[in-house]
C-alpha cells in the first residue's frame, strides 16, 4: 500500500524483502522522516528511490544514519531544500546520488569527498548549491558522472583529474577563470552559461600582460625613464613570442596535412589502406595501390576482364570498376570481414565498398551465397548493390549510409552536434532492426544473420535503422578476435559460421539492452565486475531498481517509462540463457509494435512494472 503512512512503509518493506524501498506516490506527502530514522530494521535497504513525489522541506539530520547499506539514493525532482545533511557520510558504500531538480542550497559538505569514496554517479544539477567547486572531487576516483549544472557555484574551476570521468557538466553557474587543462576534452556545452574562457569554449582567455605589447605604454614608460635594457627585454620577448606562434602554426599545418593523407585517393593511387592501417599490403608487387587498383593489377587478362563488377537485384549498371578506380575514397573502418571504404564517384554518388579478407569459400559457393544476399530486399536491410570476385580480391558494394552506425551514435562523441537519441528514435530503431532480422529469418528456417551488433546497424538520414553485413558470417572465417563479438554471441554458439536464428535473437536482445542502457556489451565497468550486459541488467533489476539501468539520456522521458520497461523485459527474454526460452523474431516484432503503440502512463514509475520484472 504505497499511499498510506508509516504502516504502509512497513508493509512495503516486507513486500520487497527489505532490499529495496520503492515509494512513488503523488497522492500525499508520505515522508515521515522521523519514523524512518528510528526504524533500525531499515539498515538492509540498498536503494532509496523517491523521485518526483513532492517531497519538500529540509532533510532532517539523522535520516541516513541507519541506512548504512545504501548504494543508490534518488530524490530527484522534488522540492527539497536546505543543505545536505552531514550524516550522508554514513552511507560509505553509496554509488549513485541523484538529487537533481530540488532546491538544495549551501556549499557542498566536505564529507562528500572524504566519506563517499565509492561514488560513481553524482547528479546535483538544478539546485541552489553555492560556494567554490572543491578539488576534493579528486578523491572520488570511481566517479564517472559529475553533474553540477544550473546551480550557483562560483570562483574558478579546479584541476580535476578523475580518471574515469565520462559525463561532466558545470554549465549555468557563476564560475570564472579559465577551463583547467584536465577538463578541456569535455564538450563546450558542459561549460556554457558561466564567465569561463579558454578551450573548448570559443571565448579566448585574456593574454597575460607580458605577451601583449602596448607601444603607447612603452613610449610613456620611456618618457618616464624606462631603462634601455627593459625596452630591449620587451622587444626580444615579443619577437620570441611571435617566432613561437609561427612555429606553432607551422606544426599545426603539418599535423593537418598528415591527417589528410588518411583519406585515400583511389584515382591518384596515393596510399594503400594497408599503409593507413599499418599493415602489409595485401597484393605483392603493386606499390601504392588502392582496393580497386589492386583488382586491376591482379586480374588475369588485363583491364577488360577487370571491369566485371556484377550488379545484383536487377540494379542497372550505373558505374563500373573504372569509375570506382577514379573515385576518391576514405577508410570507414576495419571490421571482422575486412576493410570498409566510402567511395565518392564522379557525379557525387556515394557507395560503401567492403574489401573482404580471408574468404574461405570457392567462387561458385561465393556467387550463390552473395546472390542470395543480394536478393534480400527490405527497407531495414542495407542493400548490397554489386560484387567483384577474383582469386585475390573480393569486393562488395553497398549503399552508403550517411548517418553511420548505431554504435558510433550511442558511444561516440557525446558533445555538441551529436544527434540526440530520444526514446522515440531508440524504440523506432529497435523496431526497424527487428523487422530487418525477421525478414531474413522468414526466408528459410536456416537463414540467419550471424553477426548482429550495434556497428552493423546503420542509419539513414531520417535515422531509420538498416541491418548490414548479413550473410557474411558464412563466407568468411569468423573471427580470431573473440571480444569483437563476444558480448553479443549466444552462449550455445561454438562455431561462428553456424549461427541459428535463436542465436540471432540473443544478439538482438543484447543490442536492445545496449540501446536502453547506453552501455556497450564490452563496457569496461561490466568487465570490471566480471559480468556481461544481460547479467548486469538482470542483477540490477533484481537488486535495485529498474530505472537505474536506463541510459541517463532516457530518464528524461518519464511518460514513456512503461514502454521502456516493456522493451527491457523483451530484451531480457531474448537474451535468455536457453535458446528454447527465447521468442522468435516474429513475436519480437509484434511485441515492439504493440509497446510502441501502447497508451502512455502519466506521472512517475509504476512499481507494478518493477515487480513484473523481478
**Where do we find the cell 519538500?**
56
Residue 404 C-beta: closest distance to ligand ATP, Å: 5
Backbone angles phi, psi at 430, to 5 degrees: -55, -45
**Total site size for ligand ATP, rule CB under 6 A:** 21
Q: Which of 98, 147, 172, 337 binds ligand ATP (CB under 6 A)?
A: 337
Closest CA to 142 of 532, 528, 487, 542: 528
Q: Which of 289, 400, 439, 488 binds ligand ATP (CB under 6 A)?
A: 400
Q: Among the candidate windows 213-221, 292-300, 313-321, 327-335, which touches ligand ATP by CB under 6 A?
A: 327-335
Q: Which is nearer to ligand ATP, 66 or 454 (CB)?
A: 454
Residue 496 C-beta: closest distance to ligand ATP, Å: 11
Closest CA to 91 of 45, 130, 127: 45
Q: Does 404 participate in binding ligand ATP (rule CB under 6 A)?
A: yes
Residue 431 C-beta: closest distance to ligand ATP, Å: 20
Question: Omega of the bond prior to 33 within 30 degrees of 0, cis?
Answer: no
Q: Among the candidate windows 53-61, 62-70, 395-403, 574-582, which touches ligand ATP by CB under 6 A?
A: 395-403
Give the span between the Cα atoms of 167 and 151, in whole angstroms. 17
Residue 458 C-beta: closest distance to ligand ATP, Å: 5
Q: Which is nearer to ligand ATP, 302 or 348 (CB)?
A: 348
Residue 379 C-beta: closest distance to ligand ATP, Å: 15
Using an 8 Å Cβ cutoff, are 60 and 85 in contact? Answer: yes
Q: Among the candidate windows 52-60, 393-401, 555-563, 568-576, which touches ligand ATP by CB under 6 A?
A: 393-401
Give the span between the Cα atoms of 363 and 342, in whole angstroms. 25
Q: Does 468 participate in binding ligand ATP (rule CB under 6 A)?
A: yes
Residue 457 C-beta: closest distance to ligand ATP, Å: 9
Strand order in the sheet with 350-356: 263-265, 328-334, 338-344, 350-356, 394-399, 384-389, 310-311
420-427: long-range contacts at Cβ-Cβ below 8 A with a sequence spacing of 24 or more? Answer: 420/553, 421/553, 422/553, 422/554, 422/556, 422/557, 423/554, 423/557, 423/560, 423/563, 423/564, 425/463, 426/515, 426/516, 426/554, 427/563, 427/567, 427/592, 427/595, 427/596
**Where do we find the cell 542497372?**
316
Closest CA to 342 of 333, 334, 332: 332
Residue 475 C-beta: closest distance to ligand ATP, Å: 12
Number of residue whose CB is nearest ligand ATP: 335
Q: Which of 157, 352, 526, 537 binds ligand ATP (CB under 6 A)?
A: 352
Using an 8 Å Cβ cutoff, are 29 and 6 in contact? Answer: no
Give the span between the Cα atoms of 314 and 439, in whole angstroms. 20
- Kindly identify the residues of this chain, within the stretch 407-466, that bind ligand ATP according to CB under 6 A: 451, 455-456, 458
- Alpha helices by DSSP H, listed for 261-383, are 273-276, 291-298, 303-306, 321-326, 363-375
Q: Which is nearer to ligand ATP, 226 or 274 (CB)?
A: 274
Residue 202 C-beta: closest distance to ligand ATP, Å: 30
Q: Which is nearer to ligand ATP, 358 or 371 (CB)?
A: 358
Give the span between the Cα atoms of 350 and 142, in whole angstroms. 44
Q: Which is nearer to ligand ATP, 352 or 381 (CB)?
A: 352
Residue 322 C-beta: closest distance to ligand ATP, Å: 22
Q: Which of 469, 532, 544, 561 binds ligand ATP (CB under 6 A)?
A: 469
Q: Does 340 participate in binding ligand ATP (rule CB under 6 A)?
A: yes
Q: Does 405 participate in binding ligand ATP (rule CB under 6 A)?
A: yes
Give the span between the Cα atoms of 182 and 196, in whole angstroms. 15
Q: Does 382 participate in binding ligand ATP (rule CB under 6 A)?
A: yes
Q: Does 168 participate in binding ligand ATP (rule CB under 6 A)?
A: no
How many residues in total does the chain contain?
A: 614
Helix axes 501-517, 423-441, angle to 10 degrees: 170
Contact positions vs ligand ATP (CB under 6 A): 332-333, 335-337, 340, 352, 354, 382, 398, 400-401, 404-405, 451, 455-456, 458, 468-469, 484
Amino acid at each position: 500500500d504505497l499511499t498510506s503512512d508509516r504502516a504502509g512503509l512497513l508493509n512495503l518493506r516486507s513486500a520487497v524483502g527489505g532490499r529495496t524501498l520503492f515509494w512513488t506516490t503523488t497522492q500525499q506527502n508520505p515522508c515521515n522522516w522521523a519514523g524512518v530514522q528510528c526504524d533500525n530494521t531499515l539498515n538492509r535497504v540498498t536503494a532509496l528511490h523517491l523521485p518526483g513525489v513532492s517531497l519538500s522541506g529540509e532533510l532532517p539530520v539523522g535520516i541516513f544514519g541507519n541506512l548504512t547499506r545504501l548504494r543508490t539514493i534518488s530524490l530527484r525532482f522534488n522540492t527539497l531544500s536546505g543543505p545536505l545533511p552531514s550524516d550522508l557520510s554514513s552511507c560509505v558504500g553509496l554509488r549513485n546520488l541523484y538529487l537533481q531538480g530540488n532546491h538544495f542550497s549551501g556549499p557542498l559538505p566536505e564529507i562528500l569527498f572524504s566519506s563517499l569514496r565509492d561514488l560513481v554517479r553524482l547528479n546535483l544539477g538544478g539546485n541552489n548549491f553555492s560556494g567554490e567547486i572543491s578539488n576534493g572531487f579528486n578523491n572520488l576516483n570511481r566517479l564517472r558522472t559529475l553533474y553540477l549544472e544550473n546551480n550557483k557555484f562560483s570562483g574558478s574551476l579546479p584541476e580535476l583529474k578523475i580518471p574515469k570521468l565520462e559525463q561532466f557538466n558545470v554549465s549555468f553557474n557563476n564560475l570564472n577563470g579559465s577551463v583547467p587543462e584536465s577538463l578541456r576534452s569535455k564538450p563546450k556545452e558542459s561549460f556554457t552559461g558561466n564567465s569561463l574562457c579558454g578551450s573548448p569554449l570559443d571565448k579566448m582567455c585574456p593574454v597575460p600582460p607580458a605577451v601583449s605589447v602596448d607601444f603607447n605604454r612603452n613610449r610613456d614608460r620611456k618618457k618616464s625613464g624606462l631603462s634601455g635594457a627593459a625596452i630591449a627585454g620587451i622587444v626580444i620577448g615579443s619577437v620570441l613570442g611571435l617566432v613561437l606562434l609561427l612555429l606553432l602554426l607551422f606544426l599545426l599545418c603539418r599535423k593537418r596535412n598528415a591527417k589528410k593523407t588518411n583519406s585515400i585517393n583511389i584515382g591518384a593511387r596515393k596510399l594503400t589502406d594497408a599503409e593507413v592501417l599499418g599493415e602489409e599490403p595485401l597484393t605483392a608487387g603493386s606499390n601504392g595501390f588502392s582496393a580497386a587498383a589492386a583488382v586491376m593489377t591482379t586480374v588475369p587478362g588485363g583491364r577488360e576482364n577487370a571491369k566485371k563488377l556484377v550488379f545484383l537485384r536487377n540494379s542497372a549498371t550505373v558505374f563500373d570498376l573504372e569509375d570506382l578506380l577514379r573515385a576518391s575514397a576514405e577508410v570507414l573502418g576495419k571490421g571482422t570481414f575486412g576493410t570498409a571504404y566510402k567511395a565518392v564517384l564522379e557525379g557525387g554518388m556515394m557507395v560503401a565498398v567492403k574489401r573482404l579478407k580471408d574468404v574461405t569459400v570457392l567462387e561458385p559457393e561465393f556467387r550463390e551465397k552473395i546472390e542470395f544476399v543480394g536478393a534480400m530486399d527490405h527497407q531495414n536491410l542495407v542493400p548490397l548493390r554489386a560484387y567483384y570476385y577474383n582469386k585475390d580480391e573480393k569486393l562488395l558494394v553497398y549503399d552508403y549510409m550517411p548517418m553511420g552506425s548505431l554504435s558510433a551514435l550511442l558511444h561516440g562523441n557525446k558533445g555538441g552536434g551529436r544527434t540526440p537519441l530520444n526514446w522515440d528514435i531508440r524504440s523506432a530503431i529497435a523496431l526497424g532492426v527487428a523487422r530487418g532480422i525477421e525478414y531474413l529469418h522468414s526466408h528459410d528456417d536456416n537463414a540467419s544473420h550471424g553477426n548482429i551488433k550495434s556497428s552493423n546497424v546503420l542509419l539513414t538520414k531520417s535515422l531509420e535503422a538498416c541491418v548490414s553485413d548479413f550473410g557474411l558470417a558464412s563466407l568468411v572465417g569468423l573471427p580470431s578476435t573473440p571480444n569483437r563479438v563476444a558480448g553479443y554471441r549466444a552462449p550455445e554458439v561454438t562455431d561462428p559460421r553456424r549461427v541459428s536464428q535463436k542465436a540471432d535473437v540473443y544478439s538482438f536482445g543484447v543490442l536492445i539492452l545496449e540501446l536502453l542502457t547506453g552501455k556497450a556489451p564490452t563496457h569496461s565497468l561490466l568487465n570490471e565486475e566480471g559480468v556481461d550486459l544481460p547479467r548486469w541488467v538482470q542483477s540490477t533489476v533484481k537488486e535495485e531498481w529498474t530505472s537505474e539501468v536506463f541510459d541517463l539520456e532516457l530518464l528524461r522521458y518519464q511518460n514513456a517509462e512503461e514502454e521502456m520497461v516493456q522493451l527491457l523485459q523483451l530484451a531480457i527474454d531474448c537474451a535468455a540463457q536457453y535458446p528454447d526460452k527465447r521468442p522468435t523474431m516474429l513475436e519480437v516484432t509484434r511485441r515492439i509494435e504493440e509497446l510502441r503503440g501502447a497508451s502512455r502512463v502519466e506521472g512517475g514509475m509504476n512499481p507494478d512494472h518493477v515487480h513484473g520484472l523481478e
